[in-house]
Amino acid sequence: MQRYFLENNIQTDAQIQIIGEDYHHIVRVMRMTVGDMITVVFPNGKVAICEISDILSESVLVDIKSWETVEHELPIHVTIASGLLKGDKLDIVIQKGTELGASQFLPFASDRSIVKLDEKKSGKKLERWRKIAKEAAEQSERNRIPTVEIPSSFQDLINMSKTYTTKIVAYEESARENETSQFSQTLQQLNTGDSLFIIFGPEGGLTPSEVNQLQENDFIICGLGPRILRAETAPMYCLSAISFYYELQR
Amino acid sequence: MQRYFLENNIQTDAQIQIIGEDYHHIVRVMRMTVGDMITVVFPNGKVAICEISDILSESVLVDIKSWETVEHELPIHVTIASGLLKGDKLDIVIQKGTELGASQFLPFASDRSIVKLDEKKSGKKLERWRKIAKEAAEQSERNRIPTVEIPSSFQDLINMSKTYTTKIVAYEESARENETSQFSQTLQQLNTGDSLFIIFGPEGGLTPSEVNQLQENDFIICGLGPRILRAETAPMYCLSAISFYYELQR
């Protein structure tokens, strides 16, 4: 069933009004009519199965028929902070990362990032990345659209991590040194509702100085197994493992 | 260190001769000279750290300096059979799947695959996919290049699965029905050296008739968590979970 994320929580118990882009999608793209069913997700994460009751010139009215009860969100909030990557690699991280349950993405300028974003480019990129997150959230049947922000500096990124339960950094050199226990130990210690902040370097990896700064700010260095993963693959690995651990193993 | 997969096992204890594309890569692309170090992987999976001792007109001679002892391969052999996918989606499955440790890829024509491969296209695709697997194996520092084959039919695919320890099928409808225990239970029952055959549908999913056929052939139906994953994301999810379970958790 087609999924729409509303920007406002429910106004009345009775009827929901859908406007703007979602209106356009329902009426023009999907060519739905009165009686068709859609899934509506409210900003608080609640999901309603709705029936279209009326189509007006600029809005669609729908009646709530039932509420969905299955939890589609990871039990822990995961923020993926990735160094800026070449080409469309960050698009992939955001699309796949949304399917895999991330709560937030923070693309940041790392010392070895080849891509640079000036203010104008940042705005455009942010718009694009938020659109990718919204579409992936709809497609993967999530209850929340992950947020995307661009930290203004490495220090800003570190500041953003301060409220998290646990902070880790995926470091290629740890994989090379065969460090295999930290990531799994970290997951064991987290409980439902906790938050996890994970930093990934860009293609060339984080610099030793960046890794030092992270360690001074309580980041735990983790290896992700014995194979060297590309920059865009490592976030998918972490999120898949987190889903497997909390949603399938427990 | 640059990694080269040789097609022949070591001829003598003393010196290895590298020819063909790898010769070209060492001499023309990397512009290496006598004394430079490379990693050489033999078809049996053994890995040697080598020093270039001579560069001739069509071959490079290298001396083995030491043997690598870290295991880079998953402890179980995983075959990823994916329905043919649109665009470059299967390129992504093969590239990422190689990084994540798969042993074999079997792209197959499923009832709902939109892409069709005639004999001529198959040959070209196979060449391309094998090249992607080779490059990803080099980059991710693996000991083996995964194989890629195109089954001639769905029945052929099923026949290819017969020698495997365990066979599973990732089914979207199981995710929708909130089936969450089969995948994790399957991994618990496998031991080092066992083999796992996993089938994934194309974009539209497998048909009920295909799923029935698989069940009749001892395939276990698995859900992969509460979010609906795209066709190319599901294999990455499985391989990441397998690596996490066998390489980080144990």
The distance of A184 to chain B (nearest Cα, Å) reads 6
Residues, chain A: 250
The yes-or-no verdict on residue B43 having pLDDT over 90 is no
Structure confidence by residue, pLDDT tens digits, A183-207: 999 999 999 999 999 999 999 899 9
Structure confidence by residue, pLDDT tens digits, B46-73: 899 999 999 999 999 999 999 988 889 9
pLDDT value of position B116: 86
pLDDT value of position A14: 66
- Tell me the chain A residues in contact with residue B141 when contact means C-beta distances shorter than 8 Å: 226-228
Stretch B13-42: mean pLDDT: 91
The CA distance from A198 to B60, in Å, is 43
DSSP string covering A24-93: HIIIIIS---TT-EEEEE-TTS-EEEEEEEEE-SS-EEEEEEEE--S--S-SSEEEEEEE--STTHHHHH
Phi, psi of B222 (to 5 degrees): -125, 145
Of A108-112, A212-216, B119-123, B128-132, the least confident? B119-123
The yes-or-no verdict on residue B211 having pLDDT over 70 is yes
pLDDT value of position A11: 63
pLDDT value of position B14: 66
Q: How confident is the model at residue B123 (pLDDT cuts 50, 70, 90)?
A: very high
Phi, psi of B110 (to 5 degrees): -100, 160
Structure confidence by residue, pLDDT tens digits, A96-112: 999 999 999 999 999 99
Stretch B193-209: mean pLDDT: 95
Residue with tokens 């080099």: B138
Q: Which residues contact A3 (CB under 8 A, 6 or more apart)?
A: A38, A39, A40, A41, A137, A138, A139, A141
Q: Which residues contact A165 (CB under 8 A, 6 or more apart)?
A: A190, A194, A195, A196
Asked if B3-67 and B77-248 have one fold, the answer is no
Q: Is B120 helix (H, G, I), strand (E, B) or coil?
A: helix
**With left for phi above 0 and alpha for psi between -120 and 50, is residue A117 left, alpha or beta?**
beta
- Where in chain A are the domains? 3-67, 77-248
The CA-atom distances, in angstroms, between B128 and each of B25, B93, B194 are 18, 13, 29
- Tell me the chain B residues in contact with residue A237 when contact means C-beta distances shorter than 8 Å: 100, 236, 240, 243-244
Of A8-22, A59-73, B183-197, the least confident? A8-22
Q: Quick one: what percent of chain B has pLDDT higher than 90? A: 82
Stretch A25-49: mean pLDDT: 93
The CA distance from B156 to B162, in Å, is 10
Q: How confident is the model at residue B10 (pLDDT cuts 50, 70, 90)?
A: low
Stretch B215-238: mean pLDDT: 96
pLDDT value of position A180: 86
User: Residue B84 CB: number of other CB atoms within 10 A?
Assistant: 21
CATH superfamily of A77-248: SPOUT methyltransferase, trefoil knot domain (3.40.1280.10)
Give the right CATH number for A3-67 from 3.40.50.300, 2.40.240.20, 3.20.20.70, 1.10.3720.10.
2.40.240.20
- In sequence order, what E strands does chain B have? 3-5, 15-18, 37-41, 47-55, 60-67, 77-83, 104-108, 147-148, 166-170, 195-200, 220-222
> Which tokens is B234 given?
């599901």
The CA distance from B220 to B208, in Å, is 14
pLDDT value of position A231: 96
Prediction ipTM score = 0.92
pLDDT value of position B11: 63
The yes-or-no verdict on residue A75 having pLDDT over 80 is yes
Which chain B residues have any C-beta within 8 angstroms of a chain A C-beta?
Answer: 70-72, 92, 96, 99-101, 139-142, 178, 180-181, 183-184, 224-230, 233, 236-238, 240-241, 243-245, 247-249
Stretch B237-248: mean pLDDT: 97
The distance of A131 to chain B (nearest Cα, Å) reads 17
